[in-house]
Amino acid sequence: MKGAAGTNSSWPHGRYLAVAGVLFALQVGLLVLFGSRSRPERLASGRAPRFYALSAPGSADQLLQQFFAADPAVFPIPSVHGFSGRAWLDAPPLESPSDNQLEPPSWLDLDTAGLGADIPSPLPAWGMGLTESQPRREEPWPAFLPRETPPRQSMFQLEGALAGRLLVAPTLRVWTNAQPLTRSVVEIAVNPAGEVVAARLDGRSGLGEADADALGKARGLRFTPRSWAGTQWGEAVFEWLTAPAGNPATAK
């Protein structure tokens, strides 16, 4: 019974470690034997720059072969010596066909037999002191303007909404003054019945008597009644005619 129990006992720790070490060594040996080996790449050594000197003048093709690359892709920047020059910089311009059909020129016939017939014969004998002929200077015709006829009497007019409602225009007089008078302007208000209900002197003529006369005549104006119009405002303008101081004023 004891012998059977001794044969079924497990391996000692030392035996396990020995077997594991042998297997690990075997795997490492297989990896080293059959694994791919990478060799370190050698850095390319830089080439020293080369300088070329021309012993004799050369053509454009010789310069291109000696100093420039023949491959257009070497020059990525637009240049006439690279891809850009061959692609579009040196390309000939496109010619657009024209639809305009031009007629051929038709020359007029020249009568050579009549050349020189208009030249007077004999030629006039001119002196040595020739001068340029100056054009004839003519004065323009005088412009005759119509003569302005001065007014012979004082004038009256209405401005504003009352221009078409006046029944009878007032009779004005001529004033005597050393200086010409300006116009007298009276602002008036007319009710629907056509009567002047308000009058105010808005512009003076330079003579108090003429302004007072204009104010009195403006208050006596009569207009066409308009019941729907309401009170309307307007201006009565008196253009006075002034006589010289030596002549007496005439009432017209």
Higher pLDDT, 185 or 109: 185
The band of 12, judged by pLDDT with boundaries at 50, 70 and 90, is: confident
Tell me: the pLDDT tens digits for 80-89? 776 677 777 7
Answer yes or no: is pLDDT of 234 > 70. Answer: yes
**DSSP letter (8 states) at residue 216:** H
Mean pLDDT of 13-31: 88
Q: Which residues contact 18 (CB under 8 A, 6 or more apart)?
A: none
Q: Mean pLDDT in the chain?
A: 75
pLDDT of amino acid 159:
84
Answer yes or no: is pLDDT of 109 > 80. Answer: yes
pLDDT of amino acid 232:
86
Adjacent-strand bridge partners of 176:
243
- DSSP sequence for 6-43: HHTPPPPHHHHHHHHHHHHHHHHHHHHHHS--PPPPPP
Secondary element (H or E) of residue 5: helix 2-7
Tell me: the pLDDT tens digits for 63-108? 666 665 555 555 566 777 766 777 777 777 777 776 777 788 888 8
Answer yes or no: is pLDDT of 3 > 50. Answer: no
Dist CA 206 CA 209 (whole Å): 9
Mean pLDDT of 181-205: 88
Residue position matching structure tokens 């017209």: 252
| Domain ranges within the chain, ordered by starting residue | 155-243
Q: What is the CATH number of domain 155-243?
A: 3.30.1150
**Dihedral sign for Cα atoms in the order 145, 146, 152, 156:** negative
Q: Are strands 232-239 and 184-190 parallel, antiparallel or unpaired?
A: antiparallel
pLDDT of amino acid 2:
47
The band of 250, judged by pLDDT with boundaries at 50, 70 and 90, is: very low
The band of 176, judged by pLDDT with boundaries at 50, 70 and 90, is: confident
